Amino acid sequence: MSQSRQAATRRRLPVMALAAAGLGLALTAGTVSAEDGMQQMELSHGSIIGATCMGCHGFKGMGSGEIPRLAGLPEGVTAGKMTAYKSGSQEGTVMNRIAKGYTDEEIQAVAAFFAKQ
């Protein structure tokens, strides 16, 4: 009895290993395509980047406490400030580090997004 069960387990293992490998492959493929999609969205949609700013700058960039409002600021003003923070020509507490994380295209996209709020 126990021998035949062992044999059955032995027979099943390669199948399960194959299934696991297949699942792993499918998951990997899924992750890669999802990331590709995200990157395209981040580059083309200021709203995706903008969402990361709202934790501090308030819903839709309306401002929150001491943190300045971004909503309705002309695109050039927000982009100019972000670029100044990025280069270090304007000093802030957190914005220098944050601005350094974005390309000029991303800064333009998020500035355009907040200009429309």
Q: Please, what is the minimum distance in Å from the beta carbon of residue 89 to ligand HEC? A: 13
> 10 Å Cβ neighbour count for 106?
16
Contact status: 78 vs ligand HEC (CB under 6 A) = yes
Residue from 94, 103, 104, 105 touching ligand HEC (CB under 6 A): that is 94
Alpha-carbon separation of residue 16 from 11, 12, 21, 24, 78 (angstroms): 9, 6, 8, 12, 55
CA distance 40 to 100: 20
Contact status: 112 vs ligand HEC (CB under 6 A) = no
Q: Residue 17 burial (CB < 10 Å; 0-12/13-18/19+)?
A: exposed
> 10 Å Cβ neighbour count for 86?
20
Cβ distance to ligand HEC smaller for residue 32 or 94: 94
Q: Please, what is the minimum distance in Å from the beta carbon of residue 88 to ligand HEC? A: 12
- Site residues for ligand HEC, 50-69, by CB under 6 A, read 52-53, 55-57, 67-68
Interaction site with ligand HEC (CB under 6 A): 49, 52-53, 55-57, 67-68, 70, 78, 81-82, 92-95, 98, 110
